[in-house]
Structure 1
Amino acid sequence: MDVELEVVVLPVSDVDRAKQFYEGLGWREDADIVGGADFRIVQLTPPGSSCSISFGTGVTTMAPGSLQGLLLVTKDIEATRAEYVERGAPVSEVFHGPAGRFHPEDPSVRLPGPDPEGRSYQSHAVFSDPDGNGWVLQQITTRLPGR
């Protein structure tokens, strides 16, 4: 049976600020539903993605900013980084790491610039939303077998 990841819930402290940030990145608003003083849910989707994010009031008990390592995939990391920076996101410089012991959230193993061989899955940049939820941009031009 096939199943698809549809929505990831983000913990935020200010719904309007989060909505403005993600819309500023060019993400599409799918819904903004108010169900009384204690409930509001906003859903947005990155361009080209089949998975959305949602956040709001009365939506999650997670602490704002506690979600880390959310992965956004792009075919051109430098162009995506430039667009997000232009749109106001605090995106790091593009970096890569040594194969076999690299994790994009570990600054101690980051090497500057994109992967010199242009390999998929090797070039990254990171940023956080206004609450500190952490995102990783990853360049993939050729998927691993089975994907």
Structure 2
Amino acid sequence: MDLKLEVLVLPVSDVDRAKQYYEGLGFRLDVDYSSADGDFRVVHLTPPGSQCSILFGNGVTTAAPGSVQGLHLIVGDIETARAELIDRGADVGEVFHDAGGVFHHAGDTARVSGPHPERASYGSFAAFTDPDGNRWVLQEVTTRLPGR
């Protein structure tokens, strides 16, 4: 079986604000569709270089705005990606790694300032939220695990 994750639905409170925010970060606009009566709207955007997209709008989810946490954007150089996102308007926190060295805990638990000491692939992170509070994490991956 071949399963591909293609779209993640984000709950937002203001569709136009979210669209402007993500386009400002460099996400490509794929679809902006509104029904004739205006009750249904779908906005679909894709992060640069990604196979997976995000979707938000009116009438597309019952989840509370800002309730999605832990969306990961994989980058080859965390410092460069962080700087570019900041330049584009994102409030990206400092680079960090987990005290255990494997994956980051929820919130700030076991968080150590700075990139992974050996710059191990999958080991350095930085986080930001969109205007509604949906939380994104940058993760530096320089060498993928086998089969990835």
- TM > 0.5: yes
TM value normalised by structure 1: 0.96
Q: Which runs of 5+ in 1 are unaligned?
A: none
Find the residue that maps to 2:79 and give its secondary structure: helix
Match of 1:4 in 2: 4
Partner of residue 69, structure 2: 68
Alignment of 1:1-147 (within 5 A): 1-35=1-35, 36-99=37-100, 102-147=103-148
Superposed displacement of residue 97, structure 1? 1.4
Q: Deviations over 1:95-120 (max 9, x none)?
A: 11123675253313111111110101
> 1:97-146: CA deviations, max 9, x gaps?
12367525331311111111010111000000000000010000111122
Whole-angstrom distance in 1 between the partners of 2:86 and 2:105: 19
Provide, for residues 25-79 of structure 1, a one-character-per-residue CA deviation record: whole Å limited to 9, x for no partner. Answer: 0010000000132100000000100000000001100000000000100000100
Which one-letter code corresponds to 2:9 in the other structure? Answer: V
Q: State the secondary structure of the residue aligned to 1:67.
A: coil
The list of structure 1 runs, each at least 4 consecutive aligned residues, that deviate by more than 3 angstroms after superposition, is none
CA 100–116 in structure 1, closer or farther in 2 if over 3 Å, else same = closer
Distance in structure 1 (CA, Å) of the matches to 2:46 and 2:102? 32
TM-score by length of 2: 0.95
The SS at the match of 1:125 is strand
Contact 2:101 2:116 in 1 (8 A): no
Judge conservation of contact 2:103–2:122 (CA < 8 Å) in 1: no
Inter-partner Cα distance in structure 2 for 1:12 and 1:114: 31
- Paired with 1:105 and 1:138, the residues of 2 have a C-alpha distance of 14
CA contact (8 A) 2:42 2:55 kept: yes
Number of equivalenced pairs: 147
Change beyond 3 A, Cα 1:46–1:53: same
Q: Which runs of 5+ in 2 are unaligned?
A: none
Percent identity between the aligned chains?
65
